[in-house]
Amino acid sequence: MDEVMPEEGVAENDIYLGYTSMFPYLEDNAVARSSKASGPVPLANRQPCVPSEVHPEPEPIVAHLLDLFWQWQAPHLLVIDRDLFVRHRKLWDDSGGQGNRTFYTPTLLYAILSLASMISLDKGVVRYSASSGGLAGDTFATRARELLELELEHPTTTTVQTALILGFRFEAAGHALGWMYSG
């Protein structure tokens, strides 16, 4: 442990960078002296990052696209546990959008819808989800990206899942953004 501890005079300038920092292993007073010390915000104190004006999409379209995703895409991606997602979506809906954000957020739902739209054969779904002249699912992907930007301040499991799903979507469309989201 001695080899990872800084020299005596360096401790006054230490900055605690969260739980990944090696500084928590130093003396407690070294962290206390740092005026910039801050740790991660406890989950209980986090505010929902999704605006309250999230407009739900038509349930038949959502159900159709979720069925496509679970049947054809989720088995290959292995990023989202279906049972946890469905259970937490119900909890989220029942609590008026104030539920636990660990395994479901509208951001993740929009990312899933954007990916599943790409394989939908339903012309109504394709028209509904495509921007003018764009690919199926573009409107869902745009919404997912907007909401993801808000979630990045306090990321959770769903933030990472959303980024990966968006990465798969953009890679499938041949867009370089896929590497950014999945890398």
- In this prediction, residues 10-18 reach a mean pLDDT of 49
What is the residue whose two structure tokens read 């159900």?
63
Distance of CA 144 to the CA centre of its chain: 9
* Per-residue pLDDT reduced to its tens digit, 118-132: 999 999 999 999 988
Q: Round to the nearest angstrom and report the end-to-end CA distance of the chain.
A: 32
Handedness of CA 90, 95, 96, 100 (dihedral sign): negative
pLDDT band of residue 27 (cuts 50, 70, 90) is very low
Count CB-CB contacts under 10 A for residue 157: 16
- In this prediction, residues 15-23 reach a mean pLDDT of 46
- Parse the chain into domains and list their residue ranges: 2-40, 44-182
Rounded to whole angstroms, the Cα distance separating 140 from 171 reads 16
- In this prediction, residues 97-108 reach a mean pLDDT of 89
Length of the chain counted residue by residue: 183
Taking 60 as the threshold, does the pLDDT of residue 30 lie above it? no
Q: What is the pLDDT of residue 35?
A: 39
Taking 90 as the threshold, does the pLDDT of residue 7 lie above it? no
Taking 80 as the threshold, does the pLDDT of residue 110 lie above it? yes
* Per-residue pLDDT reduced to its tens digit, 148-178: 999 999 999 999 999 999 999 999 999 888 9
Amino acid at 32: A
Rounded to whole angstroms, the Cα distance separating 96 from 116 reads 25
* Per-residue pLDDT reduced to its tens digit, 31-90: 444 434 444 445 444 444 445 445 689 999 999 999 999 999 999 999 999 999 999 999
Q: DSSP per residue over 14-56, as a string?
A: ----STT-SGGGS-HHHHHH-TT---PPPGGGPPP-S-TTPPP
Prediction pTM value: 0.72
